[in-house]
Chain A
Amino acid sequence: MTTAMMGEPIARREDPRLLSGKGRFLDDLGRYALGVAFVRSPHAHARVVDIDVTGALEVQGLVAIYTYDDLAGPLAEPLPLLIPHPALTHGRTPYALAKDEVNHVGEAVVMVVASDRYAAEDVCDRIRVTYEVLTAVVGIEAAREAAHLVHDDVPGNLAAHMVQEVGDARAAIDAAPHVLELDLDVERSASTPLEGKGVYARWDADDASLRVYTSTQASTSVRAALAAKLDLPPDRVEVVAPDVGGGFGVKIVHPWPEEVLVSWAAITLGREVKWVEDRREHFVSSAHERGQLHHVRVGFDDDGRLLGLDVTFWHDNGSYTPYGIIVPIVTATQLLGPYKPGAYRVEFSSLYTNTVLVTPYRGAGRPQGCFAMERTMDAIAAELGLDRAEVRERNFIRPEEMPYDHGLLFQDGRPLIYDSGDYPASMEKLKKLVGWDAFESYRAEAREQGRRVGIGLACYVEGTGVGPYEGGWVKVENDGSVVVATGLTTQGQGHQTAFAQIAADVLGVPLDRVTVTTGDTRRFRYAVGTFASRALVMSGNAIAAAARTVREKALRIAGEALEADARDLEIVDGVVRVRGVPTSSIQLSTVAVLSNPLRYAFDAESARATQFATPADPDKPPVAEGEEPGLEATGYYSPPRATFANGMHAAIVETDPDTAEIRILRYCVVHDCGTLVNPRIVEGQVHGGVAQGVGGALYERMVYDSAGQLLNASFMDFLMPYSTEVPTIETDHLETPSPLNPLGVKGAGEAGVIPGMAVFASAISDAEGFPITRMPISPSDLFHLRATHPEGAS
């Protein structure tokens, strides 16, 4: 490698376009497309008795009204269950348009296509749907009680039940000198990207092909799903993720009803059709997460070392399970964090409720698991009168114990084996960064001034970069520029910079000669998607592999041209040269020309590759056997299993003795995601994650009433943090490379959010003198908790 770009905090190459209003987000496309709106259920649970459209037929601009009865073939079947699992015995998915029954407020019942969205909403207003209202099941307690059912054919509202056990946890706990039991609850929240979902489809009847733009995290899989649902050959379907205005998990689900319906309407009508989700629709008809109740039983010795851990939890999966049971599986496995649990048993029940369906939201079950585990650590420390950091350190997996096999199955169906990490070193850094050991004097000082402060910490381990695979394609063009494509999508992670850094580094070309395309099935055909902090690990390594192949080929061709041994060559700034002999060199662009033997010239450069231009061995074919023309290659990366990043956060909070207002005084992060490709981007990912952690801990909750109405379905009432709610974040990094992939990288996308609830619960408990067991916590919650905990600080 000759141009060191790996590890450099290079400014993002996508930014000038996005900053000057030249982004291409979904609603920036298809200016003349027809508009779509949906009549959505106002009831959480009801039978659809009648749909009367007569009052809507005269509305100006109306093009079409569709109900379930208009759907046929695969389109009339339920949408796919994306990730089947043996424990998911009662998986249920919705129909594209409700058939007979609706199971949450916001479920699509009627689709309207009109001249624009305004007209489509006019039509929706005049369609009368008659419902027979059924009792709604709202909240985990009601689902568990099962006095009423969400789906008639799902007894106990139980979608899935799963147990994993290593050793005999219950016996170990019974035999332990100390035992604690804790109930720990987390409420619902959601990804809430600033851009909602959206779909724009156009059908070319002459070509019999469909092009769909969708604001998704998985365009390649959307393509497969659309082909199946619409009965089209996959090679007649192109799916493009344009600029995507944030995802955070919610856009990994597919196909959404709107994705199949808009595409189908474009074909049926022979017109361009577009649907853009509004904010209220996003709240009531996309996806939520986080809602879980946990019961922890833990046994430990006099030093606070875990002997046995027995966790039972109940997961609210909402009305349907298109994404399977990934979230509770992640909780069950990632709850363990950096600790050795002794014997471990985990059992979960995934329950239906008449609420918006649940899919991964950044962290994907880890924030809940981290909350459960870290609250348990604090409880052990309190029980034994030990320092909270000390208890954690005593339970850490040591660096010399890596790779560490937990004996469990992870979310990718592979063994839960941590590949690397140095948890004691991370803890040392964190304690130093936040001033852990000096805090008691600060607390005393604050107390003198009548102020109440607390410090908390939380640790996590995050399995990142799950398979099955991603691919990358790299090509050197005749002008020496390099084009790169990978199938996974981008929604703010800076892939056009980080992936370009990787390719430029391997190929020895200036960064500004590299362009990267993501999430476009026209450019790369095989992909999985952008989720689970996997993009850099998967596509980064795939692109590196492809670039290495291109490099080898370039050196070979250059070696022939320079009459030098390829092993003596290097590529510097786009020039292939003999090491130590700067005069003996050839432009990489020329190598690209020579790699593609031509009959016809189209410019001076290409003329060099034509048949009379260069002497050639008359006994050999112009393209040797086993070779392909062109300086390009495709590479794949498929990991044996996930690679495990880790981090530790600490927060100092101040709680108002009168109003119970919670103020964040400091927030410190130590983060280890292996080798850093672009530290600036990683830091940005951490910042954004922390902000969502702050939201999840102190502000954001989905408030359903008992009838299943979402009471705060707007940005007025769902309290996403503004700049004034997010503290300045102090960060420090550790780089423990992953031994599993050539770049040594681990994922960083979700890390920042994971310990948020745990660290604030720890800090607020510390300030208040009683345990915090339910998140999020508002000033009002804290105020009421004080009344029930007279033992707390005063």
Chain B
Amino acid sequence: MTDLHDVALTVNGVPRSARVPARRLLSDFLRHDLGLTGTHVGCEHGVCGACTVLIDGRPVRSCLLFAVSVAGATITTVEGCCEPDGSLGPVQQAFWDCHGLQCGFCTPGFVTTVTAYLDENPDPTQDEAREAIAGNLCRCTGYQNIVASVLRAAELRREVRA
């Protein structure tokens, strides 16, 4: 009999909990137990970055963590990168403006990664923008429009702040 554990955490500002085995990956916990399927799983070995979520504001690979190990944490997924009214947040809007996605499978990991990056680096150069996304794989876009999206997102965030 597999032991089950109650895991409670805050996801996108909402307290959530589920009873899961110790081996449940955080990515599976979010997707299957909480039904937040925006977080995607592309490799399950921490390389592609599609499963990136923010834990206390910092990007992590949710496929490399067990849900039980982050009990109590505050998590932001791609769903949480939207505005409170459900419209696109600045990073998402920038990807839309710049055609920064094609199939859209890797996109959630880019959105969360870029969100965290711009929190710390609100005004990146082109080279810095390219470096910022260098831990995520995309097979469709060739990255050029994603780099443009990072710069555009920075611009949108500045506009919001101004």
| B62, CB-defined interface residue at 8 Å | no
How far is B79's CA from A716's CA once the two chains are assembled, in angstroms? Answer: 28
Determine, out of B117-125, B134-142, B154-162, the stretch whose residues face the partner at the interface.
Answer: B134-142
Chain A CB count within 10 A is highest, among B35, B99, B101, B139, for: B139
| B92, CB-defined interface residue at 8 Å | yes
Q: Is the CB of B106 within 8 A of A194?
A: yes
Partner of B40, one of A20, A22, A245: A245
Tell me which residues across on chain B come within 8 A of A493, comparing CB atoms.
102
Q: Is the CB of A688 within 8 A of B99?
A: no
- Which residues of A1-41 have CB atoms within 8 Å of chain B's CB atoms? 11-12, 14-16, 18-23, 25, 27-28, 31
- Which residues of B91-140 have CB atoms within 8 Å of chain A's CB atoms? 92, 95-97, 99, 101-108, 111, 130-131, 133-140
- Minimum CB–CB distance from B154 to chain A (whole Å) comes to 16
Tell me which residues across on chain A come within 8 A of B135, comparing CB atoms.
722
| A118, CB-defined interface residue at 8 Å | yes
User: Which A residue's beta carbon lies closest to that of B33?
Assistant: A31
Q: Is the CB of A194 within 8 A of B35?
A: no
Q: Is the CB of A18 within 8 A of B107?
A: yes
How far is B108's CA from A18's CA once the two chains are assembled, in angstroms? Answer: 8
| A491, CB-defined interface residue at 8 Å | yes
Q: Is the CB of A11 within 8 A of B99?
A: yes
Tell me which residues across on chain B come within 8 A of A686, comparing CB atoms.
142
- Which residues of A43-77 have CB atoms within 8 Å of chain B's CB atoms? 60
Determine, out of A373-381, A724-732, A758-766, A779-787, the stretch whose residues face the partner at the interface.
Answer: A724-732
| A681, CB-defined interface residue at 8 Å | yes
Tell me which residues across on chain A come within 8 A of B78, comparing CB atoms.
19-21
User: Which B residue's beta carbon lies closest to that of A278?
Assistant: B44
| A42, CB-defined interface residue at 8 Å | no
- Minimum CB–CB distance from A486 to chain B (whole Å) comes to 18
- Minimum CB–CB distance from A249 to chain B (whole Å) comes to 12
Known contacts A31-B32, A278-B44; A23 and B139 CB within 8 A of each other: no
Q: Is the CB of A20 within 8 A of B48?
A: no
Known contacts A20-B79, A194-B138, A691-B142; A243 and B104 CB within 8 A of each other: yes
- Minimum CB–CB distance from A61 to chain B (whole Å) comes to 9
Q: Is the CB of A195 within 8 A of B38?
A: no
Chain A CB count within 10 A is highest, among B40, B44, B48, B103, for: B103
- Minimum CB–CB distance from A515 to chain B (whole Å) comes to 17
Partner of A12, one of B39, B96, B105: B96
- Minimum CB–CB distance from A683 to chain B (whole Å) comes to 8
Partner of A724, one of B23, B107, B131: B131
Tell me which residues across on chain B come within 8 A of A14, comparing CB atoms.
104
Known contacts A16-B88, A715-B48, A723-B147; A23 and B142 CB within 8 A of each other: no
How far is B140's CA from A116's CA once the two chains are assembled, in angstroms? Answer: 30
| B82, CB-defined interface residue at 8 Å | yes
Tell me which residues across on chain B come within 8 A of A692, comparing CB atoms.
139
How far is B39's CA from A192's CA once the two chains are assembled, in angstroms? Answer: 19
Tell me which residues across on chain A come within 8 A of B38, comparing CB atoms.
20-23
How far is B78's CA from A792's CA once the two chains are assembled, in angstroms? Answer: 51
Q: Is the CB of A11 within 8 A of B97?
A: yes
| A690, CB-defined interface residue at 8 Å | yes
- Minimum CB–CB distance from A245 to chain B (whole Å) comes to 3
Partner of A27, one of B31, B131, B145: B31
Known contacts A691-B143, A692-B139; A20 and B43 CB within 8 A of each other: no
User: Which A residue's beta carbon lies closest to that of B21?
Assistant: A118
Q: Is the CB of A12 within 8 A of B99?
A: yes
| A622, CB-defined interface residue at 8 Å | no
- Minimum CB–CB distance from A213 to chain B (whole Å) comes to 14
| A193, CB-defined interface residue at 8 Å | yes
| B8, CB-defined interface residue at 8 Å | no
Q: Is the CB of A246 within 8 A of B140?
A: yes
Known contacts A246-B105, A491-B103; A21 and B77 CB within 8 A of each other: yes
Q: Is the CB of B144 within 8 A of A687?
A: yes
| A424, CB-defined interface residue at 8 Å | no
Known contacts A688-B141, A723-B134, A729-B142; A18 and B2 CB within 8 A of each other: no
Chain A CB count within 10 A is highest, among B105, B138, B145, for: B105
Q: Is the CB of A715 within 8 A of B47?
A: yes
Partner of A194, one of B32, B77, B103: B103
Known contacts A16-B88, A19-B88; A714 and B43 CB within 8 A of each other: yes
What is the 8 Å Cβ interface bit string for chain A, positions 222-245, against chain B (1 contact, 0 not)?
A: 000000000000000000000111
What are 10 sample pairs from A and B whose C-beta atoms fall under 8 A apart? A15-B96, A22-B38, A193-B105, A194-B48, A683-B99, A687-B142, A691-B143, A716-B47, A722-B137, A729-B142
Having A14-B104, A194-B139, one finds 10 other A-B pairs with CB under 8 Å, namely A15-B101, A15-B104, A19-B101, A20-B86, A21-B82, A246-B139, A687-B141, A688-B139, A722-B133, A729-B142
Complex A-B, nearest 3 residue pairs according to Cβ-Cβ distance, in ascending order: A21-B38, A245-B105, A492-B103
